[in-house]
A and B are shown apart, each in its own frame.
Chain A
């Protein structure tokens, strides 16, 4: 059976009807793999047979045969955990056996219980669900093959982007379908409250971690030893989300380094030869949680995950979610990352099971790696034409004539491609592509009388207050923005430069850079800007704007070129909602009279402040209502030491 599936890969690769993502008129761009619809075979053959077929994935070559069933014992008896149990028992005067029991309890709460039967059940159900939800699920099969090889050679960590609950279901589903080793997945504890589903997920490979356990030494020890044991033994690929949670905005979130630290440590300590980190970019035509997210950003709390809630969500199944794209990136070797950066011999003088704070170089490396991996995710995220359309519509709140929209979309397509966007643009003409996007997102954009505009209410409905109307409109704008945000990573550096060119006092490069750097710092929480890379980013921005003839560079100066106006204006407009939003936050903080503002009061108060401005007609930017933006702005102000956090 394994042969069958790998031969399937081979056959598919040879198919000549491949749809290329890049038309040949952009030969200079990065070579990317081709994508295949993995649901195609599901639509042709029995799902039951698919679920019951022989599943025999290739495993890590160093896998110790008996380790699998002994995982629990191996973790609980590990030197590392025993060491911490001893410490904890000494510190709190508790009997060692009790602490040991507590550790066992924590582990049982956490651990996955991967069962092939459950996986088969999921394979069956998800086949049905995915076929209903998606027109196709397109996967780069070369990436799957690379992953298959990587899993055999080294312990593998899968790092998918996180936009939807679908993400990890889809990941496991894909790996099962291609006969790859199923991952164990770090999931937030919130799922556990869904009794049946929680257990189902557990049996399909999820393990659950508490959202916060900062000070709990024992929890940390159990958790990190659990993950490291699975990694060291090559038990299964480990999967977690660098962003820590689902991005509600469509932008990538600043990566969290906690788990990445844990999974890289076995390499630093020489316990494995190498570890391969595989970024996976998952993108959706339409996100299932689209309007939920917008509401969450506006302060409607996230619904608690309950099984009955999930059943209610069945109506979701009736809608069309278009195409889903999953791109498996090239494995990144931790060994290569660490080459010449981290001295592994620093661990020579202390037994390795004793927790040791990694040296500064290692910490820096992990931080950088995290950003780099999120960037890799971003770069391989398939972008659909609709993201361009949404961008244009947001910049033209009064609507656009369809032909103008099409023309602009074609222009923007060229610009995005020249900036290296991974744009999936079927065919070369614009009209059908724009039309298809509008059709799929008819809840967000409306076409009437040859004019396209955002589908937001103009006047209050019956019994609707002005506030409710503003809220409704904000939901529409934020939903739309979540698509525009997907493409921001392509434009962010040139956009920062465009604003800097406008604000700088002269065209001297150093002055422009100073402005650029300021904006870069301010927005370092908003966008994925690798720490310490502002000079590189500036150079990249100059290069890209030079390449599309928007600016001209000389030895000393950088100036807008004659035909550069449209490009620069577009890029500035792209950043405009963020600039406005940050300004609103600053205004609010200046006006706030309370001496000590409590952090949990900040978001509602800032939102209310923005809402009042909108109602008064002085603010047109609905994105200023987004709690994500407000939090990022506050974080930036704290970093810039304009605001200080004090513990009360």
Chain B
């Protein structure tokens, strides 16, 4: 597939992505301690590794998003401060959450899914389903 030179380049890239996610994780823990779950979620969603095919990076980012998502108690309130630019990426992570089958995760994802669909519309769901290039 890729030549060995390109593969090495990808490796370095992946390391950069993983360390970026680790940075995010620390920032999120701080924000959660300050009772700012929406800020934490925004931080988690920003800079998500959509373009890479590497499963480790995607899983690492998912763990971080999951942590922030589960800390949200007031879903309605969350949408008051979440900008529309985050809707599409949040929807993709909601479906990842639903696919885990874990009861608490699914409960939370469904709660958020209902409100997000009201806010963003069915088009948002379609984009998360149809986009096979930028995946979470």
Query: Do A and B belong to a common assembly?
Result: no
What is B's interface to A at a CB cutoff of 8 Å?
Answer: none
